[in-house]
Structure 1
Amino acid sequence: MSALPDGSPGSRPHSPSGEEGPGTAETGPGGRRPKAGRNLPVAIGAGLGMAAVVLASLLIQPMAFLGLAVIAIAVACWETGTAMRRGGKNVPVYPLAAAGVLIVVLAWFGGATGLLLGTAVGVVALFVWRLSEGATDYRTDVPAAALVLVQVPFLAGFVMLLATSGNDAARLIDGSAAQVLIMLFTVVLSDTGGYTAGVLFGRHQMTPTISPKKSWEGLAGSVVAAAVGGSVTLWAFFGVSFPLGVAFGVCVALAATLGDLSVSLLKRDLGIKDMSNLIPGHGGVMDRLDSILMVAPVAYVWFRYLLG
């Protein structure tokens, strides 16, 4: 989970519609940019606390990390399903949460095969559930539920694949925990760089119809920060060459931005600011996972096939 609220060191400013960004391309009276809309001390404290828990679970007890993942994905599925129901989509909130747990557990113990099997079972369960609800809105309810299943637990399954790809997921020196930590650290750097560059230099809107406060300057800051941080950490842990590390960081920054935008688009469509208010200063669990979920398969491809 990202240690930063809305992918930033403090928070990314929100528009009235709830859209956030790594920086702001909009200016207030006198050309001054609006300040962040969250309680920064509370948000930073909560973010650091979450980061410490995740770090400890990865380095000390792998089953604790699995437990954290199960809880986070179940809650994220519940949040997203509940938000969709408020938006008029008849999706099964608790079956979705149960399917999310099944997918991440099967990915942890069964690898890629388990991930695919769990996702297939979850999709079939959605169709079986919908049979009892009749034909009304069938063509919209099933895709909405399937979207939650793919966007949350399926993508999260790639984090499980990274965490168990070493000889022993409990120890950093075996590589698997290091892969997860490097991925999370690079996402945090991307968010921090994007927020800083956006606040300082943001002038040009990147996606005005999706997330008005995202700027091209913020995206540039994300790419630079992730490229530098990714290359340094990959070299330090695995001896990866700097050009490959830079490419890894750029891919992470772009994927993180895409994940952020996809959830922003969903929230704009549903007319909400945050998925929930479970985490002080951060919103909901899904608001913290948006970037990480999209980065996970990208990082998996890099570590599994491109970096060896």
Structure 2
Amino acid sequence: MTHQPRGPAGSSPVDNDPATGTPPDSGGTPGSTGRRSRRANVTPPKAGRNLPAAIAVGIALVVLVLVGLVFLPEAFVILITALSVTGVWEVSRALSFRNIHLPLVPVIVGTVAMPFAAFFGGPESLGFALVASVTAVLVWRALDGSEGSTESIIGGVFTLCWVPLLTSFAVLLLHETDGALKIATVLLLVVANDTFGYLVGVLYGKHPMAPKISPKKSWEGFAGSVGGAAVVGVAGAIFLLDEPWWIGAVLAVSMVAAATAGDFAESMIKRELGIKDMSNILPGHGGVMDRLDSVVFASPVAFIVMSLLLPGQV
């Protein structure tokens, strides 16, 4: 009996071949034809995930973030840090499937340091924390001296730049005028991107954007993301930020582009590693990185766009 390749314990099996819909290693093993035929006759949910659980988890995460922003900014930073640490742990487990073992001690310390550096010291402190974290990774592996140091160092630096550094740009917005409202607007735009893109894609999606990377993401869904985010962005600019409507429209398009790029980037990494989800700790979603993929890329883009559109405020 042929099995699909699996990633680390807790991760999902590799995606089916987008061209054929069959597992990439499925072969003609005698006696398996009948089982494959029966499986082929079973139509999976078009959504591809447990929708009620996904909605419940998504709402809970958004509520936690918004409550932290409104009542206690430090709690928001702690939550971002916790999510980043969990995301780094997931990436570390996923990379270990390809025999790349991160120096977890300096990487985790750097992951904790960067959001707090951004919160207490701003961009300069965030940059210093990144340099110190990368240096710690190099020194740690140099003292270790075991095999695979090159892959370990590259993996560690990549993980630090991908997860805690990019996510910390959201924390930088807290320093600015109406920073909590700016972050709330960004989060609402990311949620609108995911929600409207998902709904329109499920109902009308027929033309994949990049079938070899993410076969379920369609041009129709992308159009739904742009339309839904535009409505939310315009409303956010007018009612939350007290800015002209067109700023909300520009933010919406920027956030959809960044979120889509983040989704594709993570999908490429997962396909290279041969896994479907980073983990299964979030019911209906997979892992934390399967939810943070959009936010990670959207945060620095939001910071840059707001710096350009709202001079003197960012």
Alignment TM-score, normalising by the size of structure 2: 0.83
Query: In terms of Rg, which structure is larger?
Result: 2
Q: Cα deviation per residue 1:121-163 (whole Å; 9 max; x = unaligned)? A: 1111111122134374444332221111001000011011012
Range that drifts further, 132-141 or 207-216? 132-141
CA distance in 2, matches of 1:124, 1:18: 36
Distance 1:98 1:147 in 2: 15
1:207-218 to structure 2, matched below 5 A, reads 207-218=210-221
Partner of 1:270: 273
Q: 1:257 Cα shift?
A: 0.3
CA contact (8 A) 1:194 1:219 kept: yes
CA contact (8 A) 1:78 1:94 kept: no
Of the candidates 138, 142, 161, which is equivalent to residue 150 of structure 1?
Answer: 161
Q: How far apart, CA to CA, are the structure 1 residues paired with 2:163 and 2:15?
A: 20
1:147-296 → structure 2 map (5 Å cutoff): 147-166=158-177, 175-296=178-299
- Secondary structure of the residue that 1:283 maps to in structure 2? coil
Cα deviations across residues 189-217 of structure 1 (Å, max 9, x unaligned)?
Answer: 01111112211221111111111111111
Q: Is the 2:207–2:218 contact (alpha carbons within 8 Å) kept by the matching residues of 1? A: yes
The DSSP-based 3-state class of the residue aligned with 2:122 is helix
| 1:116 matched residue in structure 2 | 127
Using the TM superposition, give the Cα deviation of residue 33 of structure 1 relative to its aligned residue in structure 2, in angstroms.
8.8
Aligned match of 1:90? 101
> Is residue 226–residue 250 contact of structure 1 (8 Å, CA) maintained in 2?
yes
**Secondary structure of the corresponding residue to residue 212 of structure 1:** strand
1:102 maps onto 2:113 in alignment: yes
- How far does the alpha carbon of each residue in 1:209-244 deviate from its partner, in whole angstroms, 9 at most, with x for none? 111111111111111211221122112122322222
For 1:157 and 1:214, the matched residues in 2 are separated by 27
> Which structure ranks higher in relative contact order (CA pairs < 8 Å, sequence separation ≥ 6)?
1
User: How far apart, CA to CA, are the structure 2 residues paired with 1:231 and 1:16?
Assistant: 40
Greater CA deviation, 184-193 or 213-222? Answer: 213-222
* C-alpha distance in 1 between matches for 2:230 and 2:13: 32
2:72 — aligned with what?
61
User: Is the Cα contact below 8 Å between 1:186 and 1:252 reproduced in 2?
Assistant: yes
Paired residue secondary structure (1:190): helix
Tell me which amino acid in the other structure corresponds to 1:144.
G
Is contact 1:187-1:292 (8 Å) kept?
yes
**2:63 pairs with 1:48:** no
Partner secondary structure for residue 217 of structure 2: strand
- 1:17 aligns to 2:14 (yes or no): yes
Residue in 1 aligned with 2:140? 129
User: Which range is displaced more, 131-140 or 42-51?
Assistant: 131-140
Q: Is contact 2:57-2:283 (8 Å) kept?
A: yes
Which 5+ residue runs of structure 1 have no aligned equivalent?
Answer: 1-14, 20-25, 167-174
Kindly report the root-mean-square deviation, in angstroms, between the aligned alpha carbons of the 2 structures: 2.2
The answer on whether the counterparts of 2:47 and 2:202 sit within 8 Å (CA) in structure 1 is no
- Unpaired runs of at least 5, structure 2: 1-11, 22-39
Alignment partner of 1:74 is 2:71? no
Describe the SS at the equivalent of 1:229: helix
TM superposition shift of 1:34: 5.0
* Contact persistence 2:13–2:274 (CA under 8 A): no
Query: Match for 2:217: what amino acid?
Result: K
Amino acid of the structure 2 residue aligned with 1:300: F
Equivalent residue number for residue 9 of structure 1: none
Go from structure 1 to structure 2 and tell me whether the alpha carbon gap of 1:93 and 1:165 turns closer, same or farther (over 3 Å shift): same
TM-score, normalization by structure 1: 0.84
Determine the C-alpha separation between the residues in 2 that align with 1:138 and 1:186: 40
* Greater Cα shift, 131-140 or 150-159: 131-140
Partner SS, residue 238 of structure 1: coil
